[in-house]
Structure 1
Amino acid sequence: MGNLNCLNREVVEVEFDDEGVGHSFCYVHPSSSTTNFGSLSGASVSANTWTNSLTEYNEYSSSIAAPFDCSDSFSSVPLQPIPQSVSGPLYRPFERGFLSGPIERGGFLSGPLSLEQKTGTFLGQVERKNKLFGGVGKRSNKKKSKNLQWVQGKAGEDRVHVVISEKHRWTFVGIYDGFNGPDAPDYLVSSLYPAVERELEGLLWNSAKLRHVDVLKAMSEGLNKAEKEYLDIADKTVTENPELALMGSCVLVMLMKDDDIYLMNVGDSRGVIGRRHPLWDNDTSDDDDSDGFLRLAAVQLTSDHSTCVEAEVERIRKEHPDDALAVSNDRVKGSLKVTRAFGAGFLKQPKWNDALLEVFRIDYVGTSPYITCIPSLKHHRLDSTDRLLILSSDGLYEYLTNQEAVAEVELFMSMYPEGDPAQHLVEEVIFRAATKAGMDFHELLQIPQGDRRRYHDDVSIIVISFHGRIWKSCL
């Protein structure tokens, strides 16, 4: 173990953009809350640079220009690395994110905000600092809409959108992992939730007649209509902005109503649930961690759509029998790793491919689309064994398996029940990426966005606890 005296050495401030490298946030339950989950926390970190969309698609487009915004019931902080010692990195365990819980050490660390702090003015007066990330919390002054609480944020080309209705006891989460530009994920933030809400109107309020297949069908139809509108707009402006034909996004949407979870995904973002392992079914103890053993098994609820999945590759090749290069170099037309996506018109119709500059065009054989936006759909009924749900863009799984992600959250929750598990997973990705590259945590984050994409992807994570043990200060 290294010399812990490095904690007392002079520190060096590192300049970052005003937006930092990402954001961390959590949902603060109202005192009269009837929401069925114990907590919801989220975190995003960017690797790509982010820019504004080329087109304003609707009246909501301007509201997503800021890197982060939220309503009153969310608290947030920008992720800013704590200054590093001039003599080298902090040594473990102090360099790790495990100390992001309620532990304080000489004022260097502080835990999550208390409920009193979170319901304060929250305009730069309250600091919520983590061992590795620190920042100043803020709240939006926007008025509530339809009694909904919401948060939306961006990190590189990732977008996150959460909408919660305490009145009707449902939660919407959207994670949109964009590629080749910002327009597709920005459009999804502004348009997919309203499109899904329109399709669901009446379904979720009448539980006596609720059929799960109808909810999933409505979600799929909302996505289908949103993409049609997006491509129609892109078609009208593609001459002026041909790069719109390249832009696309993976889609992960979760809708939770009481004990029912509905998932829709296109691409390689994932929903993974942590369930009490069958080995412990006969143990009636409510304390999952009393003996120090990890007890949760990871179950992936979504389906991956990428060239890593042989069935997806076979489907594309079967649909394009005259194109031997339909999938080459482990990419669709040598260009795209995912086999289904929102947007990306150049892989769906020859006219959008033809609109591109020649250097970006593919050899489009025939007229059939190479990729689609047909989602995978899943209903899951929560039971007493379900403890947590991780929703994430694929950047998390470049460095952690499903089981590793669940185990990290479970261990972190057991050690720091008031800590932020989503932020901890983000930190774990950065640590692993830095270690693989032979760097320390701070060295990697000092690499400019864009260049840092060589080491890790944008990462956006939502962790929902069903057990009420994390973020106790939020309850």
Structure 2
Amino acid sequence: MRLFAARNLARLTSRQSPKYRGSTLRQALLLSGLGLSVLALANADVSGAHLEAQCDARYAPPEVDGAFSVPLEREEFASIAKSRATRLSSASYKANFPIEDKYAVEATDSGDVFAAVLDGHGTASVLGAFLCMFRSSLIVLRWQLAGGWQVSEYARKTLIGNVQKELSYLYKSGTNEPAHGDEKTVPDGRVAAAIQRAFGRTDRDLLAEVASAFKLGFGAVARCGSCACLAYVHEGTVHVANAGDIRAVLGKLGKDADTIVAEPLSSDQNAMVKFEQEKLTKEHPGEANVFTCRHPDSCYVKGALQPTRAFGDFSLKHPEFNGPPYVNGDRSAGRHFSAPYTPPYITATPEVKSHKLEEGDKFLIIGSDGLWDYLSNEEAVEVVKGQASCGNHDLAGRALVERVLQKAAKRYGMTYQELLSLPPGSHRRRRHDDTTVVVLFFD
């Protein structure tokens, strides 16, 4: 089943993360958005609204289809003594079948919080899965059954762990080794470099997984990938690493307590952004098709991919994944890019921004592009502010998803229920994308 009782989910978490067993929070929490789930982590020492505003009827708990109605409540979050991330709300709603969005959250006894949203893309051949059964190759079977959702699932399982490893090496090296249980200050630039190394490790490990399948003739594995955005909250700083078009937006108080303003902590990295177009043109001079635009809102790297940073998509990174010219329509050897072809065109190295949390910083929204297709940064922070002002912090993620669906229904001349009744897959995907959000609240 997609939805778990809190007790069952805690048991599942303990099996998946034995490293973190036994703490106040069972040492960690690890969630993925496979359908829709909502998570609320409440600090026992925190009460009342986070934002100084009266509850407005517009922001009452949203009336949504039953699939949204199961909150997963957790134990108190009091163990994060050094972190300002005391609560979170997360929600994921699928358009594709299977859903290509995933997310993961972990909290440690040391007070660190990690939150990642992943957005997969690309489709592998199901026929290849049956063929590979005769080759007795489980690796091929796994990846041919998958496509983009498997890449995002792979990153969900491995990215945070890789980041923790790199940070552990950083904090324990040289003069940065902890003294008397307290970590000495590490420059933000070194933290950013450690996170970038972790993204690189994740991409290299993924490459090793899919290479054998590609060599056996299953070329679709080189055309699958996943964007990723990770937030790492450590003491009074949030570090945001973004590879692709997932977005992180900070909600902070304006000049008075009744206003909230949006401050982006990430930049969109796709072929529609002028900076990315100029970067591609500079790095690949003479390639007129280094990016192509069907219209201003639909641009692709080498005519194949919108994001300019992502895990996977190895046909745009390594020449050995460029298949030979197609013969009789046979695409089993993978995508073929004719000359000029000078990879890499994209990278998994994220852009990392570090932000010192201030008193007026109230929450961070991390959302897949399905959210931002319909909501501006300002609209998103207003929705979260409204839920928080009513004390409904656990409903913030749900409310964002609902707002997306309401606007999608209006755009396509449908009722809300008509949109919800569409089956996952092409019918739903034509109206909206998978939509996943994680909202971290700061106190």
Same-fold call, TM cutoff 0.5: yes
Residue pair 2:219, 2:323 contacting (<8 A) in 1 also: no
In structure 2, the partner of 1:91 is none
- The separation in 1 between residues aligned to 2:235 and 2:212, in whole angstroms, is 42
The worse-fitting range, judged by mean Cα deviation, of 307-316 and 200-209 is: 200-209
Alignment partner of 2:247 out of 253, 257, 270: 270
SS at match of 2:359: coil
For the pair 1:163 / 2:106, whether they are aligned, the reply is: yes
Matches within 5 A, 1:438-457: 438-451=413-426, 452-457=428-433
In structure 2, the partner of 1:401 is 376
Matches within 5 A, 1:408-447: 408-417=383-392, 419-447=394-422
Matches within 5 A, 1:258-337: 258-277=235-254, 294-329=258-293, 330-337=299-306
Residue pair 1:350, 1:364 contacting (<8 A) in 2 also: no
In structure 2, the partner of 1:24 is 38
Deviation at residue 394 of structure 1 after TM alignment: 1.1
Alignment partner of 1:46 out of 94, 101, 118: 94
For the pair 1:37 / 2:77, whether they are aligned, the reply is: no
In structure 1, the partner of 2:308 is 339
Task: Report the CA distance shift for 1:363/1:444 in structure 2 as closer, same or farther (over 3 A).
Answer: farther
Amino acid at match of 2:157: S
The worse-fitting range, judged by mean Cα deviation, of 195-204 and 224-233 is: 195-204
SS at match of 1:413: helix
For the pair 1:391 / 2:439, whether they are aligned, the reply is: no
Alignment partner of 1:369 out of 341, 344, 366: 344
SS at match of 1:438: coil
Matches within 5 A, 1:174-323: 174-180=116-122, 181-201=148-168, 203=170, 206-240=182-216, 241-277=218-254, 294-323=258-287
In structure 2, the partner of 1:172 is 114
- The separation in 1 between residues aligned to 2:230 and 2:378, in whole angstroms, is 21
Residue pair 2:315, 2:335 contacting (<8 A) in 1 also: no
Residue pair 2:266, 2:353 contacting (<8 A) in 1 also: yes
Amino acid at match of 1:162: V
SS at match of 2:85: coil
Task: Report the CA distance shift for 1:337/1:418 in structure 2 as closer, same or farther (over 3 A).
Answer: closer
For the pair 1:465 / 2:429, whether they are aligned, the reply is: no
Task: Report the CA distance shift for 1:33/1:300 in structure 2 as closer, same or farther (over 3 A).
Answer: closer
SS at match of 2:184: helix
State the Cα RMSD in Å: 2.2
Deviation at residue 206 of structure 1 after TM alignment: 4.7
SS at match of 2:153: helix
Residue pair 2:321, 2:334 contacting (<8 A) in 1 also: no
- The separation in 2 between residues aligned to 1:31 and 1:314, in whole angstroms, is 47
Residue pair 1:160, 1:175 contacting (<8 A) in 2 also: yes
- The separation in 1 between residues aligned to 2:278 and 2:318, in whole angstroms, is 20
Unpaired stretches in structure 2, ≥5 consecutive residues: 1-32, 42-74, 123-147, 172-180, 294-298, 325-330
Residue pair 1:294, 1:411 contacting (<8 A) in 2 also: no
- The separation in 2 between residues aligned to 1:209 and 1:409, in whole angstroms, is 32
SS at match of 1:275: strand
Query: Cα deviation per residue 1:283-305 (whole Å; 9 max; x = unaligned)?
Result: xxxxxxxxx98411100011110
Task: Report the CA distance shift for 1:23/1:312 in structure 2 as closer, same or farther (over 3 A).
Answer: same
Higher helix fraction (1 or 2): 2
Amino acid at match of 2:161: P
- The separation in 1 between residues aligned to 2:151 and 2:105, in whole angstroms, is 17
In structure 2, the partner of 1:353 is 322
Amino acid at match of 1:49: F
Deviation at residue 177 of structure 1 after TM alignment: 0.6
Query: Cα deviation per residue 1:395-441 (whole Å; 9 max; x = unaligned)?
Result: 11000000110011112222343551111001111111111111122
Amino acid at match of 2:40: C
In structure 2, the partner of 1:382 is 357
Matches within 5 A, 1:118-133: none
Residue pair 2:88, 2:393 contacting (<8 A) in 1 also: no
SS at match of 2:37: strand
Deviation at residue 388 of structure 1 after TM alignment: 1.0
Query: Cα deviation per residue 1:107-137 (whole Å; 9 max; x = unaligned)?
Result: xxxxxxxxxxxxxxxxxxxxxxxxxxxxxxx
SS at match of 2:414: coil
Amino acid at match of 1:344: D
Matches within 5 A, 1:69-84: none
- The separation in 2 between residues aligned to 1:250 and 1:333, in whole angstroms, is 18
The worse-fitting range, judged by mean Cα deviation, of 30-39 and 299-308 is: 30-39
Paired residues in the alignment total: 329
Deviation at residue 214 of structure 1 after TM alignment: 1.5
Residue pair 1:353, 1:364 contacting (<8 A) in 2 also: no
Query: Cα deviation per residue 1:171-206 (whole Å; 9 max; x = unaligned)?
Result: 011111110122321221122122111111154575
Calculate percent identity across the aligned residue pairs. 31
Amino acid at match of 2:437: I
Residue pair 2:284, 2:342 contacting (<8 A) in 1 also: no
In structure 2, the partner of 1:101 is none
- The separation in 2 between residues aligned to 1:200 and 1:32, in whole angstroms, is 20
Deviation at residue 365 of structure 1 after TM alignment: 2.1
Amino acid at match of 2:345: Y
Amino acid at match of 1:386: D
Deviation at residue 463 of structure 1 after TM alignment: 0.9
In structure 1, the partner of 2:44 is none
Amino acid at match of 1:24: V
Task: Report the CA distance shift for 1:341/1:163 in structure 2 as closer, same or farther (over 3 A).
Answer: same
Deviation at residue 20 of structure 1 after TM alignment: 8.8
Deviation at residue 232 of structure 1 after TM alignment: 2.2
Deviation at residue 239 of structure 1 after TM alignment: 2.9
Amino acid at match of 2:438: I
Unpaired stretches in structure 1, ≥5 consecutive residues: 1-18, 51-155, 278-291, 468-475
